[in-house]
């Protein structure tokens, strides 16, 4: 039964992935809808980042994690190298936790 379920899910996933390129020339999406679709991807990403930055499970993660995410976002906005962004974000979080601001 497990292999049947895995095979069905794999076939469904493959079908959805193939449907995009095959149906692209047949479907015409209005310009307004295309604009909202691209904005929805950005909104979803922002919501995922906010949820991961602010919550650990169902409780507030503390102030160190959001401060680290904010530091990383500012470094990325300043177009610093990726390694610098990661080290600055992790360093900020670690220093704040070391100072007791969990």
Comparison of pLDDT for 27 and 51, the residue scoring more: 51
**Does 66 lie in the same domain as 49?**
no
Specify the 3-state DSSP secondary structure of 62.
coil
Residues 44 and 69 occupy one common structural domain: no
Residues 32 and 77 in one domain: no
CB 1 within 8 A of CB 9: no
* 8-state DSSP, 32: H
**Residue 89: what pLDDT?**
96
Contact 63, 101 (CB under 8 A): yes
* pLDDT tens digits along 34-73: 889 889 989 999 999 899 999 988 899 899 999 999 999 9
CA distance 93 to 70: 10
Query: Higher confidence at residue 52 or residue 102?
Result: 52
The domain tally of the chain equals: 2
């Amino acid at each position: 039964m497990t292999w049947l379920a895995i095979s069905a899910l794999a076939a469904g996933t493959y079908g959805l992935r193939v449907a995009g390129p095959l149906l692209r020339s047949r479907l015409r999406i209005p310009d307004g809808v295309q604009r909202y679709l691209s904005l929805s991807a950005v909104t979803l990403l922002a919501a995922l980042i906010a949820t991961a930055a602010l919550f650990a499970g169902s409780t507030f993660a503390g102030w160190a994690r959001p401060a680290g995410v904010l530091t990383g976002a500012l470094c990325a906005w300043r177009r610093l190298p990726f390694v610098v962004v990661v080290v600055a974000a992790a360093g900020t979080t670690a220093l704040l936790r070391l100072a007791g601001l969990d």
